[in-house]
Amino acid sequence: MDESGWSGLLDRLPEDLDLTVLARETGALCRGRQIKDGASLLRLALLRGPGGMSLSQTAGWAKLQGIASLAAPSLHDRLHQSVAFQRSLVHRLLSAKAGGVGQDGAVAGCLGAAWSGRHLRISDSTSLSERASAGTDWRVHGVYDLGSGGFTHLELTDGHGGERLSRGRGVVGEVRIGDRGYGSFGSIREFVSQAAGSDVIVRLRWQGLRLCGPDGQGFDLFAFLSGLAEAGSVAEAAVRAQGPAGTEVGLRLLALRLPEASAAANRARLRRQASRKQREVDPRSLVAAGFVILATTLPAEVAAAEIMQVYRLRWQIELAFKRLKSLLYIDRLPTWTEAGGQSWLYAHLILVVLSDDLSQQVLESFP
């Protein structure tokens, strides 16, 4: 990163943000003996992370540039100590873009509006693995604003961090969209209760919620699905999702029958997965594979067919995560330690927030 590029990046930081003060507050610069200020620490973290340099290369570059004189092991320690600094910087940058941040780092403002004034946002996460690991070691949880084409929330957890809609606090007038991982009772109820005037659209697994009808009697999901005879037809029912201790959430249940080719492909995938695990496929799963089943808290005046169309926009956040992997290589972790992985990943998230609006300018340009 040359001096002009670095100056341009610093210009994108909020005017009231003092990197050195933030670094000292978070314990990243206790003595300042080798790395003198927060800007230098951030620059080295970005070179080591999305810059793709090894520790030795980063330390050597810093010495040649007169920024810091330290060996690779010392740089390793400094970057380990900078995790809280980088995490706080991600939250500050998101807050500056949106106008406020909660205690948990969730953005309280909004970046854009769509769909008749409702803020359409998508929750999703992407899994990352350390080198030589066959499982999920880290998850990046994000909330993506469709009106502005950027993230309003980014959160890093270990591989056990579950998906839930409340990662990223909602705002009044928001509609939060989530896939099957977000279709649990706790996830839905927590989100709609924390932000008055917010709604959800989530895809359901057939066994994901305990449903009853408005009269309190059990709801037969498969009898409901059997009423959809033609591909592309949509059915709707008013239901209540039941949770622990008598808690309930009122929902509209929507179902779309898929074309037979799509249904057959889904069933084939289920059979392959079951074969690998040496299990039998539940016949009910094969039936449900022929449908898209959604639950929403939106009022009845919003047409079911329109809700189905809006849900299809969920792939936008998948593209955003794909850009993180294909352009920034966030999934190629070179680290072995927890703090090393956090430092390397947070540096990528900082760059993501700083470059979100730039990516939109590129996407909007001809051709």
Q: What is the pLDDT along the chain (367 residues), one digit of tens a residue?
A: 667 778 888 888 888 999 999 999 999 987 767 788 899 999 999 999 999 999 999 999 988 988 888 899 999 999 999 999 999 999 999 988 876 434 343 434 444 555 767 889 999 999 999 888 888 999 999 999 988 888 999 999 999 999 999 998 888 889 999 999 999 999 999 998 887 789 999 999 999 999 999 888 899 999 999 988 888 889 999 999 999 988 999 999 999 999 999 999 999 999 999 999 889 999 999 999 999 999 999 999 999 999 999 999 999 999 999 999 999 999 999 988 899 999 999 999 999 998 876 655 555 554 4
State the pLDDT at residue 249: 93
How high is the pLDDT of residue 106? Answer: 41
Place of tokens 């030589």: 132
Q: What is the pLDDT of residue 169?
A: 85
β-pairing, 248-257 vs 291-296, is antiparallel
Q: How far apart are CA 73 and CA 55, in angstroms?
A: 8
User: Rounded CA gap, 35 and 53, in Å?
Assistant: 18
Who's near 216: CB < 8 A, 6+ residues apart? 240
Report d(CA 225, CA 222) in Å as an integer.
Answer: 5
Global pTM reads 0.87
Give the pLDDT confidence score for residue 104 in this predicted structure. 41
Amino acid in the structure at residue 263: A
Residue 133 dihedral angles phi and psi, to the nearest 5°: -105, 140
Q: Under 8 Å CB-to-CB from 263, ≥6 apart: which residues?
A: 289, 290, 291
137/335 Cα distance (integer angstroms): 12
pLDDT value at residue 65: 87
What is the spatial distance between Cα 64 and Cα 264, in angstroms, rounded to a whole number? 61
Residue 344 is inside which H or E element, if any? helix 338-364
CA–CA separation, 210 vs 25, rounded Å? 47
Cα 279 off chain centre by: 31
Nearest to 19 by CA among 3, 36, 39: 39
| Confidence at residue 43, expressed as pLDDT on a 0 to 100 scale | 92
pLDDT value of position 102: 41
| Predicted pLDDT at 293 | 96
